[in-house]
Chain A
């Protein structure tokens, strides 16, 4: 049998000091004669002590705030939420994990790309010699509540452009690739990187987990490409392995075929 006072939650309020003095006295009187409520109160004490013994987590997993601050800085500078001043945050060069460095570079690249793209504000005309050519245009994601159709259309268009770039990267012969061709691939990848990140965040916001996952893989491939600053066969092969390991082309095909 459960005591009414226990079942009503009054004991919890007593434990958390949420009762007025009069009700508090009443509960104390009750406790002196009710072993069930005393046991229930003891349980709350055990819960408090057990939770107090857990580690106090107040920093990111790396123990380093630099990537957090870089990401925050980049978010505040994002164009979809309006133009804002970028906070002058010193970027630490030392990092405990390689991914922190990549994230920092990604954020920096996004900012640089965005600045350049906003300044130019016109589509890039692809070189006729490149089979992977795709126009690079900075997009502003729809933000209205009923923007599903617009978002779908823009994402599909972005996917089509990106797929051409990924296909090009996957089929290149690293040994025969000219430095100028690689520079152009890098330019395309860098141009798509910022948009990909924005679409990935938008997909996450909309709960489109599968799409967000593919965008994340695409973002990684574009990031690696944009960071490989000169024609280097081993780096290009690494990017190609990444595309294969992540099964990126197939995933992009599935998403575009089955819909978002």
Chain B
């Protein structure tokens, strides 16, 4: 039995300290993904909180033969999609074919690449642009690019067709390319 599986069994048996150990083992990974998605600490902390609350409340549905990290990723992705920013109501959480076009044309209202490129920090420009992506594109990009999940795994976790996930990734990469070109021009490197 793996260390995680052992901890889960102990939690199920009423050992409350086991859940604390479980959180301590995975909180950095959860927070990292949440921050990559949200781009700020306030929202990242909210998302990470939601993740562990959902984990605690659904431990009885966790299959002992499954990898906890895969299950966690599924919960993280859904927590990111469900998350509403503290500062304002964010309604573009819908997924699926119907919502796809609307999502492609719905940038987040944060500073754009032009402002960010002033300091010549391309990484910062791209990070900012990730924060401006619609939620669907953002979570697919974060899970594929940063976390290295396969597109089929992301599709399964989100309950989407793989083709939809591919289009989300392509749309995200397209936006980042544009931001990169813009940043290079603004920084005087030439396109």
Contact = CB atoms under 8 A, between A and B. Distances in A.
A58 B29 contact: yes
A59 B180 CA distance: 28
Interface in A83-132: 84-89
A204 B49 CA distance: 14
A61 B84 contact: no
Contacts of A59: 28, 31
B14 interface: yes
A249 interface: no
B151 interface: yes
A144 interface: no
Interface residues of A, number: 40
B28 A58 contact: yes
Nearest to B177: A43
Contact of B176 (A47, A69, A85): A47
- Interface-centre pick from B48, B122, B146 (highest chain A CB count, 10 A): B122
B49 A88 contact: no
A245 interface: no
B123 A53 contact: yes
Contacts of B150: 18
A81 B166 CA distance: 37
B69 interface: no
B31 A57 contact: yes
Interface stretch (B1-9, B70-78, B85-93, B105-113): B85-93
Interface string A39-77: 010011011101101101111110001001101100110
Interface in A167-181: none
Nearest to B125: A50
A57 B126 CA distance: 16
A12 B170 contact: yes
A205 to B, nearest CB: 7
Contacts of A60: 31, 41, 44-45
A204 B84 contact: yes
A13 interface: yes
Interface stretch (B15-23, B60-68, B95-103, B131-139): B15-23
Mostly, the B contact residues are helix
Given A85-B16, A87-B16, A9 B177 contact: no
Contact of A43 (B36, B45, B56, B180): B180
Contacts of A85: 14, 16
A145 interface: no
Contacts of B88: 207, 209
Nearest to A8: B170
- Interface-centre pick from A72, A75, A76 (highest chain B CB count, 10 A): A72
B132 to A, nearest CB: 15
Interface string B155-178: 000000000001101100100110
Contact of A48 (B14, B84, B145): B145
A18 B31 contact: no
A230 B51 CA distance: 39
Interface of B: 14, 16-17, 19-20, 23-24, 27-29, 31-32, 35-36, 41, 44-45, 48-49, 52-53, 56-57, 84, 86-89, 122-124, 126-127, 144-146, 150-151, 166-167, 169-170, 173, 176-177, 180-181
Given A46-B122, A51-B126, 10 more contacts: A50-B126, A54-B127, A58-B32, A68-B27, A68-B45, A69-B23, A72-B52, A87-B16, A88-B16, A207-B84
